[in-house]
Amino acid sequence: MPEKKLERPAHEGHRARLKRKYSKYGAEVLEEHEFLELLLFYAIPYRDTNELAHRLLHRFGSFSNVLKADRCDIESLPGMGPSAALYLQALMDCVRTYLRSQSDDRVYSSPLKAVSSQLAAESVGREVESVQLVGLNRNKKVISRYLLARGGISSVRLNRSALYQSLRNCWPAYAVLVHNHPSGIALPSNADFLATTQIMSLLKDVNIPLLDHIILDGKNDYISFADSNFLQKNMSGTSYVVVPPQSQMEIELSVSHYEPNLDGGTLLCDIIDNFEK
């Protein structure tokens, strides 16, 4: 009786062909699903990842959205386990680390611009709004970071005394307010100006100058209140004051590389509303 041949898996040899294609021509010739499939080879070594790559793209819409997706959402997809989901999260962090490393290698006109560039790199692809208070020493180097709020409006509760206590743990010479606009547009809103004024007042009570408010767009760029003249020294030069624009046109002229957007800053507004006296 003739020996029956074992059927080979349909995807056998496909991995080798895709690797050769990438090695010879680079990522530019690969479709999004092919490149995602190639990456998944190293997280899922013994299963066909072609169908899984298509499933991920169908669920999240694009390659960039897959990398930005919440790890729990990725993990819940059939065929994706904790290790593969963690691997994709690490890929996004590789992008941020690469951009941050690039920013470290540049020469900046001021230490504050270097800090802003590093924060912009870290915000790339962040889908959740967060607000931080960054503490600087007298050389304007980062010495502390305190997360004021993260997530939806319902999660925003900030205790004033807790904020002061966090500052006392590593008392900074200066502070910078930082938050991101997940919309991808860093144009400041009315709420952003209000929040800057109120948080500046709180910091003034403990003699910590607020040097800037940085709004990150999640695309490795940002808007600086100080650079846009929304934050200026007072007449005596001893402290800073918020100088809100008189019109939407004035905002657009100050930050001309951004499109108008008045939807950002709601999280900051609710922080102010929820301060516990």
Q: How confident is the model at residue 85 (pLDDT cuts 50, 70, 90)?
A: very high
- The string of DSSP letters for the chain reads -PPPPPPPPTTTTHHHHHHHHHHHH-GGGS-HHHHHHHHHTTTSTTS--HHHHHHHHHHHSSHHHHHHS-HHHHHTSTT--HHHHHHHHHHHHHHHHHHHHHHHHS--SSHHHHHHHHHHHHTTT--S-EEEEEEE-TT--EEEEEEEEESSGGG--EEHHHHHHHHHHT--SEEEEEEE-TTS-----HHHHHHHHHHHHHHHTTT--EEEEEEE-SSS-EEETTTTTSEEE-TTSSSEEE---SSHHHHHHHTTTS----STTHHHHHHHHTEE-
Q: Is the pLDDT of residue 175 over 50?
A: yes
Q: Domains in the chain and their CATH numbers?
A: 14-96 (1.10.150.20), 111-276 (3.40.140.10)
The whole-number pLDDT of residue 41 equals 93
- pLDDT single digits (tens) 115-156: 888 888 888 888 888 888 888 999 888 888 888 877 643 344
Q: Is the pLDDT of residue 276 over 50?
A: no
The whole-number pLDDT of residue 264 equals 42
Mean pLDDT (whole number) for 1-24:
71
The whole-number pLDDT of residue 244 equals 63
Q: How confident is the model at residue 37 (pLDDT cuts 50, 70, 90)?
A: very high
Mean pLDDT (whole number) for 238-259:
56
Ranges 227-236, 257-266, 267-276, most confident: 227-236
The whole-number pLDDT of residue 156 equals 41
Q: Is the pLDDT of residue 269 over 60?
A: no
Q: Is the pLDDT of residue 46 over 80?
A: yes
More confident residue, 161 or 35: 35
The whole-number pLDDT of residue 6 equals 46
- pTM (2 d.p.): 0.70
The whole-number pLDDT of residue 26 equals 93
% of residues, the chain, pLDDT over 70: 74
Q: Is the pLDDT of residue 102 over 50?
A: yes
Q: Is the pLDDT of residue 270 over 60?
A: no
More confident residue, 167 or 44: 44
Mean pLDDT (whole number) for 50-56:
94
Q: How confident is the model at residue 257 (pLDDT cuts 50, 70, 90)?
A: very low
